[in-house]
Structure 1
Amino acid sequence: MLEDFIPDILETLTVPPSPSAKPEPTPHREPVKISIIGSRRGVNSIIRTLYRLRFAEVMEWSPLQPTGNPGEFVSMLIRQISTH
């Protein structure tokens, strides 16, 4: 498969601090957490797809973390939405 020959961009980039850190409170906005859970390849594929759809930058996602289930990983993104 072509994916096997393409370097994984997520493993070569510096990742920002995990979104588990509490964001600063903002008036009229609330944080919404988005999680992707699956195999390493599956999670990375969805993150890249969402980047191509201009939903989120690759660097905005947290580093992959194991979930405790064999071969399963999670990555999170926190978005601030308006509460108006």
Structure 2
Amino acid sequence: MTKSFLVDTVPTPIPLVSSDKSTEKTPERESVKVVIYGSKRGVNNTILTLYKLGFAQVNEWSPLLPSSNPGEVMSILTRHIVTT
């Protein structure tokens, strides 16, 4: 009985993702904070205005926090941006 050996004609697939970490660039991220100071009403109105302008969702802002000035509050929005 004879056996026939065929050469593999299917090429080896080339990986789509390189495993060489030295040539890959990962984007750097930076935190940017936006702070609003003022009365409770003023801070809430500003947050709503910025929401209407499409700047940030209302729930992305921190709860109202007391500031160092009596009768004044603040709210903080933190964004993470990609730097190049």
Q: CA deviation at 1:70?
A: 1.7
Extract unaligned runs of 5+ from structure 2.
1-25
> Which residue matches 2:81?
81
Q: What is the identity percentage for the equivalent residue pairs of Structure 1 and Structure 2?
A: 61
Number of matched pairs: 59
Secondary structure class of the residue paired with 2:79: strand
Relative to the length of structure 2, the TM-score reads 0.66
| Greater C-alpha radius of gyration | 2
> Which residue matches 1:35?
35
Tell me how large the CA RMSD over aligned residues is: 1.4
- Structure 1 runs of 4+ aligned residues shifted over 6 Å read none
Secondary structure class of the residue paired with 1:71: coil
Amino acid at match of 2:48: R
Q: CA deviation at 1:68?
A: 3.1
Amino acid at match of 1:72: E
Distance 2:32 2:57 in 1: 16
Amino acid at match of 1:71: G
Secondary structure class of the residue paired with 1:45: helix
Distance 1:46 1:63 in 2: 14
Extract unaligned runs of 5+ from structure 1.
1-25
Q: CA deviation at 1:82?
A: 1.3
Higher helix fraction: Structure 1 or Structure 2?
A: 1
Q: CA deviation at 1:69?
A: 1.6
Relative to the length of structure 1, the TM-score reads 0.66
Within-5 A mapping of 1:1-84:
27-84=27-84
Q: CA deviation at 1:27?
A: 4.6
